[in-house]
Amino acid sequence: MARLFALLGNRADVAPRILAEEAPRRAPFRSDRPFVWGAGFYQGGDVLLRRRPMAAGEVSLTTMAGDLRTDCVIGVVEEALREDGRTLQADDAGPHRWRQWLFAGTNIFPGGNLAGGDARARLLADLPPFLRASLRGDGDSELAFHVFLSFLHDAGMLQVATIPTDAILAAIRGLVGQIEAVAAEFGGGSVGNVLVTDGDRVVAYHGADRTPDGRSARMILRRWEGEEAAAALVADDFQLRAKVPSPSRLHFSLLVADDVSEDDGDARYTPVASRHVVVLTRDRGDEQRVEPV
């Protein structure tokens, strides 16, 4: 089991309200097995991380990020006991940071097909030396993150101040293609769900609605925008209302993936199709894209 989420909007002080409203519709992640959760977010120009190991129990979106005044946060919950018998440590869990980038993923190497040393060595060998040296652990998502960064590096984009969205999408496609090509040599498998952000955009990749063992891996999207949404969120808070001079400009997007049941949603949620990418931005006037990989 796993859970992945991203929240992006244009009012950091409204973000806790978004998650509080969403909480009744998003059942907490529950497991009687050890798991690790983490959240990565942006505040005052800083890129920050929080990670927590859990022996068992539950964790909700509000526990992970409900106290954060931020306009961009991504989070992930992962089972600690891995298929190769090792235990995922908190430092090996996502999200992962490299400069301004944050990355999280689930079921990236499905079925354990890339858990073996030979497959991992193949992926490591293709990384530029400076990226290989920056790996801190042996988690799947951190390695996948560095594969993504290597495609940006190959395109000459790692040092660019504002990277075009198309370059980010090309790096996501490169990540999916390279991992699945290597996996094909070790029994097959496809990449699951991935989130990456530079703080201005969130790009998500949805692999399949179910994992190879039949677990849900769906991805759904909800948006809040305009005066009606603003009124519902801040109507009971005078200070917040006073700080929203133009409610019609309010815009937030929330993506939730993995342990999302078929019944977990309503007309406010849009399912993301398998093998599609979603581009989220802070404002309605900016680029919003959903397209196949």
Per-residue confidence (pLDDT) for residue 228, from 0 to 100: 80
Matching CATH number, 2-109+192-292, of 1.10.8, 3.40.190, 3.30.40, 3.60.20? 3.60.20
Query: Judging by beta carbons within 10 Å of its beta carbon (0-12, 13-18, 19+), is residue 18 exposed, middle or buried?
Result: buried
> For 135-172, b where at least 16 C-beta lie within 10 A, e where not — what string?
eeeebbbbbbbbbbbbbbbebebbeeeebebeebbbbb
* Residue 88 confidence (pLDDT): 79
pLDDT tens, position by position, 173-200: 999 999 999 888 877 778 999 999 999 9
* Domain range summary for the chain, segments of one domain joined by +: 2-109+192-292
Show the tokens assigned to 169. 């999408």
**Cβ-contact 206, 219 below 8 angstroms:** yes
What does the pLDDT read at residue 81? 80
* Percent of all residues in the chain with a pLDDT value above 70, rounded to a whole number: 88
116-125: Cβ within 8 A, 24+ apart:
116/84, 116/186, 118/186, 119/182, 119/183, 119/185, 119/186, 122/182, 123/147, 123/178, 123/179, 123/182
